[in-house]
Structure 1
Amino acid sequence: MEKQVYLAVGTLLLGAATLEIDACPIEGFDARVLGEELGLREQGLVASVIVALGKRSEQDFNARLPKSRLPAEAVITRL
């Protein structure tokens, strides 16, 4: 059931994009510490992913840089 949350995360990311809101899913955090800080256990909840949402700064020079991607042939294998 925990992995089903990613269906909702995908919808959240798509919705944010349509509203021109930047979004970034985050894993690798200490779920136990986050749960304690937010009192999740008392609510019967467990953290599995965090999504940062916001608007980028106009001064963010990285936003205007070209994206660096590997060529499709390097990452896709046709069977």
Structure 2
Amino acid sequence: KARPDVDGEIDASEYLDSDKVLDAKLDAVVSLIRQSHQFVVYTGAGISTSAGIGDYASKASNSIVMRETSVNRLKAIPTLS
């Protein structure tokens, strides 16, 4: 089971792997990147918010609504995401 702590319900909080599991996953990714000639990384929801960049989408709507922001993206906090 990928997330044994969830018991069939998914919540919106960030899931953190143990250091041992994270190291194994990183080793696998590094190996794949080293074997590749090119690669592309697609990121999505959650990457920016965990780095301290605010959510730009309205949570009250199914559509994306751009909002004015005064967030200084240079102050984003690096993550292992």
Whether TM exceeds 0.5 here: the answer is: no
TM-score by length of 1: 0.24
Relative to total residues, which structure has the larger helix share, 1 or 2? 1
* More contact order relative to length (CA 8 Å, sep ≥ 6): 1
Relative to its length, the structure with more strand (as a share) is: 1
Larger Rg, first or second structure (1 or 2): 1
What is the TM-score with the length of structure 2 in the denominator? Answer: 0.24
